[in-house]
């Protein structure tokens, strides 16, 4: 079980700042949803946490600065799930998931590695696809395989970059249910960038709303998602209803506040 | 009905054993082709003469060969056959590794401009007689050194913008054109016979094989291959994208740079003796990938076997088809490899890259 403490994180390309002194804490065993408009820094934040990008500021995992942790060590605590659309792979599903064992193996694959891969494939109901080529799968299947690969790392935190983008309604729910139950069963945490606020409300324990590279607000979805915040962050006029004890957002129209 | 766990593991394991069987088959094919090749040639030796000459070396008490047969078999044929096998292995592994680390199906061991650099080194030695070493090693030394110069220049240029497949390939193209232009210039000012020698060198040939060279290439392979083999997982991870590779714990830049340098070293070590033998390093990995898939733990050794078979087959054809005329092996690799490659390419429906 780990917690992640992020302090005054700043990252940018050629002078433009994507993250601008961001602070955030991710607690044990929680699903944290990162929401916010395009370009607010959700994906960048996830990549910084996984040391894919090198920001200024500090990220501490259980008090240890990730700069001082080797990549392989980090890969044993953090599992990264990229957007499936960006991942072409000419290998079978089994081998793709086996690749997640990379931080734990040198060259030879032990029987216990194979068993672990088989466990995960069964857990995510992917056993029928095991010997299929990754490139032949549908979007939802690919997303699940990428989650399976991250799980094979046996991480304590899953980092997911828009895991439901380009999926239909059923697959969106399936993927989110999978993640939520993994977090509960394996006592891990998950940090995921999301666009769909209503989907987020169903599954996350905590929301962090990003705007302009900073945390605009963080807390329980019900406390944050109100008409005023949505107007301030997204520039959208919306009605927030209470539906089945969850906030439910109905967008009405976009506002051109800057020009009016 | 979903697959049971035993069925799934069974399928996986049988897929693994299939790969091992294919390797054994390929190794056997190399052995058979080698045995055929050692019996072919313009010198009129019977299979019996050849066998006795080979056995006499190992069991001198039991077999006695003629001096003539001994010279032909041990001095002309076997070293050339081994040179073909080992060069084919090296070039194919170099090509497979390069395609892997650059994530580009068109990459080969020559992508970073090394073939034109080696050609320039050879041309410099042949036309101007200038170089880093003297005597017999003038052409060899030059092409070796210039290959490494090209690699380091490509690395330096790419480093400036950040080491990615794109920067490496673009820098490689720039270096390739620079060295080709310089080679063309040397050919323009050179005498007809010098130009012919340069052209012949660039077609590639196993004609200057010797046991000494076989030994040197083997030594280079022994030094360079372990790293590439150990890093097979990391090269696999690179195929899933740099970001995914990093998240799996791979030191992306270091793996890419070290692999690239080793590939250049292997390539330099081979083509300085043989001239630029093209096609093997590009196509042997593709043929292997189409048959056993893209896992570099199997792709690298598989490519080595296919490359050896391809180059040995090409050289055997090159020296027997129009005998006593011996064609440059670089021509023959394409003539033999292309039909097979196209066949696999047309037959296979799955994506193989």
The verdict on A136 and A244 lying in the same domain is: no
CA–CA gap between residue B249 and residue A72 (Å, rounded): 4
Name which of B2, B234, B240 is nearest A87 (Cβ-Cβ). B240
Q: For domain B25-347, say whether CATH 1.10.1530.10 is its number.
A: no
Which tokens sit at A168? 């239909």
- Amino acid A259: pLDDT: 43
B26 vs chain A: nearest CA distance in angstroms? 22
pLDDT at A200 (0 to 100):
92
Neighbours of B160 (CB within 10 A): 10
Per-residue pLDDT tens for A199-238? Answer: 999 999 999 999 988 999 999 988 998 899 999 999 999 9
pLDDT of residue A85: 58
Domain tally, chain A: 2
Does residue A245 share a domain with residue A217? no
Q: Distance (Å, rounded) from C-alpha B71 to C-alpha B82?
A: 16
pLDDT tops 50 at residue A191: yes
CA B308 to chain centre: 8
- Residue A34, judged by CB atoms within 10 A of its CB (0-12, 13-18, 19+), counts as buried
Same domain, A158 and A231: no
Q: How far is B155 from chain A (nearest CA, A)?
A: 22
Give the pLDDT of residue B353.
63
pLDDT reported for residue A133: 86
A234 and A176 fall within a common domain: no
Residue B248, chain A, CB below 8 Å: the answer is yes
pLDDT of residue B25: 97
The answer to whether residues A186 and A232 belong to one domain is no
Q: Which domain holds residue A151?
A: 4-224
* Residue linked to tokens 């066998």: B51
Q: Are A39 and A121 found together in one domain?
A: yes
Residue A135 phi/psi, 5-degree rounding, is -70, -15
Based on the fold, state whether residues A109 and A235 are members of the same structural domain: no
Provide the residue-wise pLDDT of chain B in tens; the chain has 353 residues. Answer: 567 888 888 888 898 899 999 999 999 999 999 999 999 887 778 888 888 888 888 888 888 888 888 888 888 899 999 999 999 999 999 999 999 999 888 888 888 888 889 999 999 998 888 777 767 788 889 899 999 999 999 999 988 888 888 899 999 999 999 999 999 999 999 889 999 988 888 888 898 888 999 999 999 999 999 999 999 999 999 988 889 999 999 999 999 999 999 999 999 999 999 988 888 998 999 999 888 888 899 999 999 999 999 999 999 999 888 878 888 888 888 888 888 778 877 876 665 66
Please tell me what DSSP assigns to residue A31: E
How many Å is the Cα radius of gyration of chain B? 22
- By CB atoms closer than 10 A (0-12, 13-18, 19+), residue B43 is middle
Q: Looking at this predicted complex, what is its ipTM? A: 0.88
What local confidence, expressed as pLDDT, does residue A1 receive? Answer: 64
> Do both A88 and A48 map to the same domain?
yes
pLDDT at B84: 95
CA of B345 vs chain A CAs: smallest distance (Å): 15
> Do A107 and A140 fall within a single domain?
yes
pTM as predicted = 0.89
Q: What pLDDT score does A29 carry?
A: 82
Domain edges within chain B: 25-347
Chains A, B: CB contacts under 8 A, how many?
A: 105
| Residues A102 and A188 grouped into a single domain | yes
Judge whether A161 and A83 are in contact, CB under 8 Å. Answer: yes
Q: How far apart are CA A159 and CA A52, in angstroms?
A: 12
CATH code of A63's domain: 3.40.50.300
In this structure, the answer to whether residues A40 and A169 fall within a common structural domain is yes
Q: Is the dihedral of CA A61, A66, A69, A74 positive or negative?
A: positive
CB-based contacts of B38: which residues, under 8 Å, 6+ apart?
B50, B54, B73, B77, B78, B81
**Strand pairing of A246-254 and A236-243?**
antiparallel
For residues B300 and B99, is the Cβ–Cβ distance under 8 A? no
Short-list A158, A124, A157, A117, CA closest to A141: A124
User: Which residue in the block uniquely carries the two structure tokens 């949505």?
Assistant: A230
The alpha helices in B240-350, defined as continuous H runs, are: 242-247, 252-274, 280-292, 296-320, 329-347
Residue A260: predicted pLDDT: 40
| B3 in contact with A, Cβ within 8 Å | yes
pLDDT band at A33 (very low <50, low <70, confident <90, very high): very high
Classified as helix, coil or strand, B342 is helix
CB contact under 8 A, B241 and A87: yes
Q: Are A10 and A53 contained in the same domain?
A: yes
């Amino acid at each position: 079980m780990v917690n992640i403490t992020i302090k005054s994180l700043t990252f940018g390309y050629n002078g433009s700042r994507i993250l601008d002194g961001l602070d955030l804490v991710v607690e044990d065993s929680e699903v944290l949803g990162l929401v916010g408009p395009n370009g607010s820094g959700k994906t960048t934040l996830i990549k910084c946490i996984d040391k894919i990008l090198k920001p200024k500021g500090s990220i501490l995992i259980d008090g240890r600065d990730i700069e001082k942790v080797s990549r392989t060590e980090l890969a044993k605590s953090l599992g990264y799930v990229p957007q499936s659309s960006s991942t072409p792979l000419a290998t079978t599903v089994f081998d793709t998931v086996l690749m997640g064992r990379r931080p734990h193996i040198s060259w030879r694959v032990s029987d216990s590695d194979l068993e672990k891969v088989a466990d995960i494939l069964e857990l995510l109901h992917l056993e029928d696809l095991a010997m299929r080529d990754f490139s032949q799968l549908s979007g939802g299947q690919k997303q699940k395989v990428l989650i399976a690969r991250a799980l094979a790392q046996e991480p304590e935190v899953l980092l997911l970059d828009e895991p439901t983008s380009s999926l239909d309604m059923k697959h969106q729910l399936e993927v989110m249910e999978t993640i939520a139950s993994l977090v509960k069963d394996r006592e891990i945490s998950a940090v995921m960038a999301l666009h769909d606020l209503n989907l987020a409300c169903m599954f996350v324990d905590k929301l962090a709303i990003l705007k302009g590279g900073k945390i605009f607000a963080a807390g329980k979805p019900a406390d944050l998602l109100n008409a005023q915040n949505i107007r301030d962050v997204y520039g959208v006029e919306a009605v927030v209803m209470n539906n089945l004890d969850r906030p439910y957002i109905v967008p009405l129209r976009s506002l051109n506040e800057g020009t009016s | 009905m979903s697959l049971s766990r035993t069925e799934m593991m069974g399928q996986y394991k049988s897929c693994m054993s299939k790969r091992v069987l294919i390797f054994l088959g390929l190794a056997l094919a190399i052995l058979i082709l080698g045995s055929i090749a050692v019996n072919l040639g313009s010198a009129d030796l019977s299979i019996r003469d050849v066998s006795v000459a080979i056995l006499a070396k190992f069991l001198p008490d039991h077999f006695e060969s003629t001096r003539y047969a001994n010279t032909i078999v041990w001095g002309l044929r076997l070293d050339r056959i081994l040179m073909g096998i080992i060069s084919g292995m090296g070039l194919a592994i170099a090509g497979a590794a390069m395609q892997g680390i650059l994530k580009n199906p068109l990459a080969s061991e020559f992508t970073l401009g090394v073939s034109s650099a080696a050609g320039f080194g050879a041309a410099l030695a042949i036309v101007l007689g200038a170089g880093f070493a003297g005597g017999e090693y003038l052409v060899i030394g030059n092409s070796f050194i210039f290959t490494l110069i090209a690699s380091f220049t490509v690395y330096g240029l790419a480093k400036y913008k950040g080491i990615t497949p794109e920067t490496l390939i673009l820098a490689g193209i720039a270096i390739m054109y620079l060295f080709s232009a310089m080679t063309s210039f040397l050919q323009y000012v050179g005498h007809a016979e010098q130009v012919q020698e340069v052209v012949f060198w660039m077609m590639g040939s196993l004609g200057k094989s010797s046991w000494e060279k076989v030994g040197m290439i083997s030594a280079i392979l022994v030094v360079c291959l372990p790293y590439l083999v150990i890093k097979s997982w990391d090269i696999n991870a690179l195929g899933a994208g740099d970001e995914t590779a990093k998240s799996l714990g791979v030191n992306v830049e270091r793996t890419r740079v070290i692999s690239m340098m080793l590939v250049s070293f292997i390539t330099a070590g081979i083509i300085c003796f043989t001239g630029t033998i093209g096609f093997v390093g590009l196509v042997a990995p593709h043929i292997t990938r189409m048959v056993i898939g893209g896992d570099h733990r199997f792709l690298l050794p598989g490519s080595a076997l296919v490359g050896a078979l391809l180059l040995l087959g090409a050289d055997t054809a090159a020296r027997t088809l129009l005998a006593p005329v011996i064609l440059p092996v670089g021509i023959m690799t394409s003539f033999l490899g292309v039909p097979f490659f196209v066949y696999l390419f047309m037959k296979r429906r799955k994506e193989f890259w």
